[in-house]
Amino acid sequence: MESTTKETTLLVEGALRQTNQMKKPRNFRWFTPSLYIFFLMLPIYWLVNMSFKTNQEILSKFTLIPENPTLSNYVVIFSDPSWYNGYINSIIYVVMNTVISISVALPAAYAFSRYRFLGDKHMFFWLLSNRMAPAAVFVLPFFQLYSSFGLIDTHIAVALAHCLFNVPLAVWILEGFMSGIPKEIDETAYIDGYSFPKFFIKVFTPLIASGIGVAAFFCFMFSWVELLIARTLTTVDAKPIAAIMTRTVGASGVDWGVLAAAGVLTIIPGALVIYFVRNYIAKGFALGRV
Amino acid sequence: MLELRNVSKKVGNTFHINDVSLKLEKGSLNVLLGPTLSGKTSLMRLMAGLDKPTSGDILMDGVSVVKTPVQKRNIAMVYQQFINYPAFSVYENIASPLRVAGIDKVTIDKKVREAAELMKLTPYLDRGVLYLSGGQQQRTALARALVKDAELVLLDEPLANLDYKLREELRIELPRIFAETGAIFVYATTEPQEALLLGGDTATLHEGHITQFGQTIDVHNKPSDLVTAQTFSDPPMNVIPMQKQGAQFVFSQGNIDCPEDLSGLSDGSYSIGIRPHHLLLSEPKQPSVKVVAPVSTSEIAGSETFVHVAFDDIKLVILTHGVHRVDIGDQVPVYMDPAKFFIFDGENKLVSAPKTGAA
């Protein structure tokens, strides 16, 4: 750990010296951000570190870098269907949910942004108030309802259940982006002869593309990290990875290394998605109202 | 021919458009003149079919189009804001109405290039519209309206957000360019000068009413009532209430001999209107009426000076050429020539306008 900080320190100092050669040579502006980043990255580093160790090393000593780096933990995950199916299941229902949420939210957001109708403001607020209840509240009704329709342990069950949270969120984000587009563009398109569907696909969608991206990202993330509903509604065939990770206690105790490797692989999709929408995330958090 | 028959548009409890009837001929240039919120945009939206009238009928060549969707009407509209399709290039923007109509590519290309040439956009055809200056963006919107060969072209203060020079240039070119298409051309503006420059016919709007419709020059020189006169005067026409008593008009600052041709008017209250540039600060050669009043404000705009004076709750604006220094509070003499008077009766209807050429 010490070596890491020292390295960072040296690097930052070097950079400062290069850019600020004319100014005073010493200051400590680098210190606070470095400290912050250090604590931010520490758990992630430790997870990655563990995933390359053997169970024996994890349990017996404290090492900053794996003594005998091994890929065996990853091999276990990619070769054992009960592990990699978890990822496939998660990805299937997350993508399903994202597609459903966005395609439902697009017309809804357009209506909220362009038309005034009875109770529109209340309904718009009520949409978001759905997010104020913890997921646990909805577990029981969902389970009961899905049991009677034979939907338990299917991907669509989880995808639909997550829509409860994601559709309102997507509507809010998309409405913000849509309201930033002047209504006159719609009218000009109608005057030019565009029918509504043609206008929506050809003219309007490109204008809110970043909004769709951000909304999709949020849907993806919420669905990806949600555990309670996903675990309750599935047993075997659609079991998500997060649920599989919670039951790795075998006869020989907890398999720490494999668990860490699974954790690393769970972070990756989210990190990838964040990378692609990084320029729009701030706008997305402001629900498009920047 | 576009015909509006007793068209009204009510939103909530207020009339945005109140009982408007108009007939606009093919190939005509029509100006809608009125201050902001007088209903110019509302009227245009009704003509375009973007809004439905609450009552009344709109006919195109004798056929009611109230129920025809916007897409099916052959119209073009340009807004005051620069409205284009931000995701498209200039070329695609201009071509879009033709592409939607399913016209073949060769014709589209020819028409787009013609329109671009007229609007001086040829060098920018491949650029995204967001990378253009405001003037170029508006010219793109105008080119898109032009390329369509619409029957009805609606321009809603298209030059209001442009810089001075470009405005002058387009103001002269636009009527000429659109006249060639033979469309019914409707141009909304808040500026009386713009209406005069464009010529054609003018309809003056006030609170959703059309107060007068006729040749622009006629409306300017012989406004049918006080409201029209004030709408069609910038800065607004000065109004002095007077009493006619026998052969004289009496007001707090003196008497004015009643012109001979008005001696038949009955006694009572009248309003005298006089345009700001007909009020003088120095004594003219013609016989005139003099009022002395304190200056409340004076502003210099370009090479002109506006002097505001007030007496007995009456505010007058005097427009003088040249830059003058006038101190606030100074007592200044104001001279007015009775030959330049607009005289309105108790119901604010015009009874006498200055002789042609004098206005």
Query: Is this structure's pTM higher than 0.95?
Result: no
Angle at A199 between CA A198 and CA A202, to 5 degrees: 75
**Cβ within 8 Å, pair A203-B85:** yes
User: What local confidence, expressed as pLDDT, does residue A117 receive?
Assistant: 86
B59 and B159 belong to one structural domain: yes
Q: What is the mean pLDDT of residues B139-168?
A: 89
User: What local confidence, expressed as pLDDT, does residue A17 receive?
Assistant: 55
Q: Which of B231, B266, B287 is the last residue of a domain?
A: B231
Give the closest of B70, B79, B96 to A184, CB-based. B79
* Mean pLDDT, chain B, whole residue set: 88
pLDDT digits (tens, 9 = 90+) for B288-303: 888 888 999 888 888 8
pLDDT digits (tens, 9 = 90+) for B184-218: 999 999 999 889 988 889 999 999 989 999 999 99
B62 and B175 belong to one structural domain: yes
pLDDT digits (tens, 9 = 90+) for A236-259: 888 888 888 876 666 566 788 888
B101 and B185 belong to one structural domain: yes
pLDDT band at A22 (very low <50, low <70, confident <90, very high): low
Query: Is-contact B27 B179, C-beta < 8 A?
Result: yes
B216 and B265 belong to one structural domain: no
- Total length of chain B: 359
User: Which stretch of A75-84, A127-136, A265-274 has the lowest confidence by average pLDDT?
Assistant: A127-136
Q: Residue B357 domain-assigned? A: no
pLDDT band at B358 (very low <50, low <70, confident <90, very high): very low
Give the closest of B77, B81, B101 to A191, CB-based. B77
Rounded to whole angstroms, how far apart are CA atoms A8 and A46?
18
Give the closest of B69, B86, B101 to A207, CB-based. B86
Structural domain harbouring B140: 2-231
B197 and B304 belong to one structural domain: no
**Is the domain defined by A76-286 classed in CATH 1.10.3720.10?**
yes
Q: What residue of B is the nearest CA neighbor of A195?
A: B71
B211 and B264 belong to one structural domain: no
In 3D space, the residue among A107, A210, A198, A110 whose CA is nearest the CA of residue B96 turns out to be A198
pLDDT digits (tens, 9 = 90+) for A147-198: 999 889 999 999 999 998 899 989 988 998 999 899 999 999 999 999 999 9
User: What local confidence, expressed as pLDDT, does residue A10 receive?
Assistant: 53
Q: List, by residue range, all CATH 1.10.3720.10 domains of chain A.
A: 76-286
CATH of the domain at B243: 2.40.50.140
Q: Which of B187, B208, B231 is the last residue of a domain?
A: B231
B244 and B125 belong to one structural domain: no
Question: Structurally, how many domains does chain B consist of?
Answer: 2
Q: In what order do the strands lie in the sheet with B29-33?
A: B75-78, B152-156, B184-189, B29-33, B201-206, B209-215
pLDDT at B144 over 90: yes
Q: Which of B231, B262, B280 is the last residue of a domain?
A: B231
B87 and B35 belong to one structural domain: yes
B265 and B217 belong to one structural domain: no
- Going B110 to B113 to B119 to B125, the CA torsion angle's sign is positive
Q: Residue B358 domain-assigned? A: no
Q: Report chain B residues whose CB lies below 8 A from the CB of A187.
A: 48, 50, 70, 77
Query: Is-contact A169 A102, C-beta < 8 A?
Result: no
**A190/chain B closest Cα distance in angstroms:** 5
Mutate to test the interface with A, among B83, B89, B144 (most CBs of A within 10 A): B83
pLDDT band at A21 (very low <50, low <70, confident <90, very high): low
User: What local confidence, expressed as pLDDT, does residue A9 receive?
Assistant: 54
pLDDT at A70 over 60: yes
User: How crowded is residue A104: how many other Cβ atoms within 10 Å of its Cβ?
Assistant: 15
Q: Residue B258 domain-assigned? A: yes
Rounded to whole angstroms, how far apart are CA atoms A265 and B62?
71
pLDDT band at A1 (very low <50, low <70, confident <90, very high): very low
The DSSP 8-state label assigned to residue B143 in this structure reads: H
Rounded to whole angstroms, how far apart are CA atoms B27 and B152?
9
Rounded to whole angstroms, how far apart are CA atoms B109 and B113?
6
| Phi, psi (rounded to 5 degrees) for B241 | -75, 135
Q: Give this complex's ipTM.
A: 0.82
Rounded to whole angstroms, how far apart are CA atoms B116 and B94?
8
